[in-house]
Amino acid sequence: MTRRDQLLGALEIGPQWTRRQADLQADFAPMAQSPGAPIADQPASADRHTDADIAAMDWDALQAAVATCTRCDLCRSRTRTVFGSGDPKAAWLFVGEGPGRNEDQQGEPFVGPAGKLLDNMLAAMSLRRGRDVFITNIVKCRPTDATGKDRAPTPEEAAACRPYLQRQIALIQPQILVALGKVAAVTLLARDPGIAVSSLRGTVHRYGPLPLVVTYHPAYLLRALVDKRKAWEDLCLAMETRTIAAGAG
Ligand code: URA
């Protein structure tokens, strides 16, 4: 048994599923729209950069800007910002929703139980955090509800954080994006927040010129074991798409 088969077994998602390349190419959907048009530019203050400022930042400046960001109210309750982690020149960009409690404390994305599953998913793809992979989130600060529990970011919070993600993508220049869960998918694709992840799976979308594949969020998969196999199908689609993108590039 290969290491990948062992991992798939551990993920309860074997046997391996693959698609023919011809099917895959036919799946390239026309871009629904250009990636997030900038929100109305905001006046700058000492710790508040305009969208145009952010769009011109290098990696270090961008990290520093995120660390002191006050573009939305999430800055009031955060412990740490979570910029993202990994290879700043990665071919693979995985985008989650937003930091949870563990990530807020450690300043790293996906460090809790969902992060362990994400690491296993990466390993099954012969990928590793930090090596040709960058992981980040739609929002860089932890959203909480009135009782202090994790919650999904609002569309307004996602919009406030969008220039950072746009600049991360522009600087990393990944070959493929993987949207983890609904918030990441609907934000990146500018789709109706009410749409189901299941209806966005199985197609190669576009974020500007880049292919984008949607799969379930690892935290959801921890609760819905039955969908792990579908997530593996999505990752196979992403691997084939990336191979084609690398060949074309
Ligand atoms: N869930 C996310 O979407 N992102 C994280 O970083 C952690 C949990």
For the chain, the average pLDDT equals 87
Task: Establish whether the linkage from the previous residue to 218 is cis, with ω within 30° of 0.
Answer: no
In the predicted model, what is the mean pLDDT of residues 68-73? 97
Residue 97's pLDDT is: 98
Residues near 85 by Cβ (< 8 Å), separated by ≥ 6?
A: 108, 109, 129, 130, 134, 135, 136
Write the DSSP assignment of the chain as a string of letters.
--HHHHHHHHHT-PSP----HHHHHHTBPPPSS-S-PPPPP---BTTB--HHHHHT--HHHHHHHHHT--SSTHHHH-SS----EE-TT-SEEEEES---HHHHHHT-SS-SHHHHHHHHHHHHTT-BTTBSEEEEES-SS--B-TTS-B-PPPHHHHHHHHHHHHHHHHHH--SEEEEESHHHHHHHHT--TTS-HHHHTTSBEEETTEEEEEE--HHHHHH-GGGHHHHHHHHHHHHHHHHHHHHH-
User: In CATH terms, is domain 42-248 a member of 3.40.470.10?
Assistant: yes
What predicted TM-score, i.e. pTM, was given to this entire model?
0.85
In the predicted model, what is the mean pLDDT of residues 134-144? 98
Q: What confidence tens digit (pLDDT) does each residue in 15-37 have?
A: 443 433 333 333 323 223 333 33
The band of 4, judged by pLDDT with boundaries at 50, 70 and 90, is low
Residue 29's pLDDT is: 31
Residue 23's pLDDT is: 36
Q: Measuring CA to CA, which residue among 231, 234, 211 is closest to residue 219?
A: 231
Residue 5's pLDDT is: 58
State whether the beta carbon of 110 lies less than 6 angstroms from ligand 1. Answer: yes
State whether the beta carbon of 143 lies less than 6 angstroms from ligand 1. Answer: no
Among 82, 95, 97, say which to mutate for ligand 1: greatest number of ligand atoms within 8 Å of CB: 97
Among 217, 221, 223, say which to mutate for ligand 1: greatest number of ligand atoms within 8 Å of CB: 217
Among 93, 111, 137, say which to mutate for ligand 1: greatest number of ligand atoms within 8 Å of CB: 137
Among 40-44, 78-82, 116-120, 157-161, the range scoring the smallest mean pLDDT is 40-44
Cα of 1 vs centre of ligand 1, distance in Å, is 32
Looking at the predicted structure, is the pLDDT value of residue 3 above 50?
yes
Q: What percent of the chain has pLDDT over 90?
A: 79
Looking at the predicted structure, is the pLDDT value of residue 179 above 60?
yes
CB 159 within 8 A of CB 38: no
Among 40-44, 97-101, 197-201, the range scoring the smallest mean pLDDT is 40-44
Q: How many residues make up the chain in this entry? A: 249
State whether the beta carbon of 109 lies less than 6 angstroms from ligand 1. Answer: yes
Q: Measuring CA to CA, which residue among 157, 211, 144 is closest to residue 183?
A: 157
State whether the beta carbon of 96 lies less than 6 angstroms from ligand 1. Answer: yes
What letter represents residue 125's amino acid? M
Domain extents in the chain: 42-248
Q: What confidence tens digit (pLDDT) does each residue in 203-245 have?
A: 999 999 999 999 999 999 999 999 999 999 999 999 999 999 9
